[in-house]
Amino acid sequence: MSFRNFKMVGYVVYGRGSFNQLDEILAPHRKPARPGDGENAPMIFLVDHFFEGKPLVERIPVRGNDKVMFVDVTYEPKTTYVDSLAQQLKDEFGGVSGVIGIGGGSTMDLAKAVSLMMKNPGSSADYQGWDLVKNPGVYKAGIPTLSGTGAEVSRTTVLTGPTKKLGMNSDFTPFDQIVLDPELTAGAPVNQRFYTGMDCYIHCIESLEGTFLNEFSKSYGEKALQLCRDVFVNRDGWDVECDDKLMMASYAGGMSIAYSQVGVAHAVSYGLSYLLGTKHGIGNCIVMNHLEEYYPAGVKEFKYMVEKNNIDIPAGICKGLGDEDFNKMINVSMGMKPLWENALGKDWEKIMTREKLRALYEKL
């Protein structure tokens, strides 16, 4: 038996207004690209395009030749996008002091991947998988503006590449620093906040109901679940405390799956995202709506939260798809072996047949 020995985030700061400490936090990490260079290499701020022209941009501690780059997260991050951002930085600056991602899960994943690609040869697609990254990246920090994905604590960065949608999972992937400032999530639209928040809720259900569960995962998962309930079940309306709680739920939910695994909703949702480009949060919700058989209590509560918070969950997204399309989704989904094993046990292939999965996709 070998126990997972996982790398965690280096430094964590939490609190309303902690973003104001960013300048001080970054100062010791501003370094020349090469010893002897007179000038420090720049910090690169990759900022979710939503914030272009918003007051947050004025608060970014830009010094010297630092650069703020707005990243397009209309689609989830692609390896081609990561490669072009890293190339652009190498061409313009040679080296950089660090990469700081400010945004939702997509922006944080981009920041992690670009940091790694500043120090690893080839394309990010070469590193999609487990422990393929060879060298540590440049200093990287993550600053979430949406709560739920757990990307701030995870050892992966989910990328869509030429042949697969898979993360760069490695010990070099976690951030050196995260800044958890719930104020930054205050303006998120109701639906988006719910979809991303449900990513966390679903992480908890999948972790707590899974066969990989141990006390480590359970401790974090139960706490995260309670925080999600405080926000989406036990409260009418949204206030600042909800932002505080959901940010910690995301963190704890991420810590829970670090030592367990996600399950059916994620395995099925990956197929949707691969074929139809369905985004992670909403895709998980679309699937969760139909998983009574696997997570009866979780699905019941999920439906209650959808209704209580007045959220629309799209339906009928697989209408009109042909055999070839269904097979593509089934292949991607069936490929997520650890997820199925966590959800259904070692004999999962006997339980989740292709026919059964097809029937599930047809319902979505």
Could you say which of ligand NAD, Zn ion, none residue 151 binds, taking C-beta under 5 to 8 angstroms by partner kind? ligand NAD
Q: Which one among 19, 45, 50, 81 touches ligand NAD, defined by CB under 6 A?
A: 50
State how far the Cα of 139 lies from the Cα of 31, in Å rounded to an integer. Answer: 10
State which residue, 41 or 224, has the beta carbon closest to ligand NAD. 224
**Residue 15: C-alpha distances to residues 19, 151, 248 (Å):** 8, 18, 10
Q: What mask, x for binding ligand NAD by CB under 6 A, covers residues 128 to 147?
A: -----------------xx-
Cβ(48)–Cβ(104) under 8 Å? yes
Spatial separation of the C-alpha atoms in residues 287 and 364, rounded to whole Å:
7
Q: Is 310 exposed, middle or buried (0-12, 13-18, 19+ CB in 10 A)?
A: exposed
Select from 66, 76, 181, 206 the one that contacts ligand NAD (CB under 6 A).
76
Q: Which does 197 bind (CB under 5 to 8 A by kind): ligand NAD, Zn ion, none?
A: none
* Binding segment (CB under 6 A) for ligand NAD, from list 47-55, 307-315, 323-331, 345-353: 47-55
* Separation of alpha carbons 324 and 308, rounded Å: 38
The answer to the question of residue 160 lying near ligand NAD (CB under 6 A) is no
User: Which C-beta is closer to Zn ion: that of 206 or that of 341?
Assistant: 206
Per-residue DSSP letter, 148: S
Which residue lies nearer to ligand NAD by CB, 93 or 216? Answer: 216
What count of residues does the chain have?
364
Q: Tell me the closest approach of the beta carbon of residue 248 to Zn ion, in angstroms.
A: 17
- Is 199 a binding residue for Zn ion by CB under 5 A? The answer is yes
Lookup: tokens for 215: 């006390």
Identify what 342 binds: ligand NAD, Zn ion, none; CB under 5 to 8 Å per kind: none
Residue 154 binding: pick among Zn ion, ligand NAD, none (C-beta 5-8 Å cut-off by kind): ligand NAD
- In angstroms, the CA 163 to CA 284 distance is 22
Determine which helix (DSSP H) or strand (DSSP E) holds 178, and give its type and residue range: strand 177-180
Contact 137, 115 (CB under 8 A): yes
76 binds Zn ion (CB under 5 A): no
If the CB atoms of residues 109 and 199 are measured against Zn ion, the closer one turns out to be 199
- Pick 65 or 192: Cβ nearer ligand NAD: 192
Cα-trace Rg, the chain: 20
Other C-beta atoms lying within 10 Å of the C-beta of residue 276:
15
User: Which of 158, 180, 187 is closest to 54 using CA atoms?
Assistant: 187
Contact 143, 248 (CB under 8 A): no
Stretch that binds ligand NAD, among 23-31, 120-128, 191-199, 212-220 (CB under 6 A): 191-199
Min CB(300)–ligand NAD separation in Å: 24
- Among ligand NAD, Zn ion, none, residue 298 binds (CB under 5-8 Å by kind): none
Which residues are at the interface with ligand NAD (CB under 6 A)?
Answer: 48-50, 73, 76-77, 103-107, 109, 145-146, 149-151, 154, 156-158, 185, 187-189, 192, 196, 199, 280-281
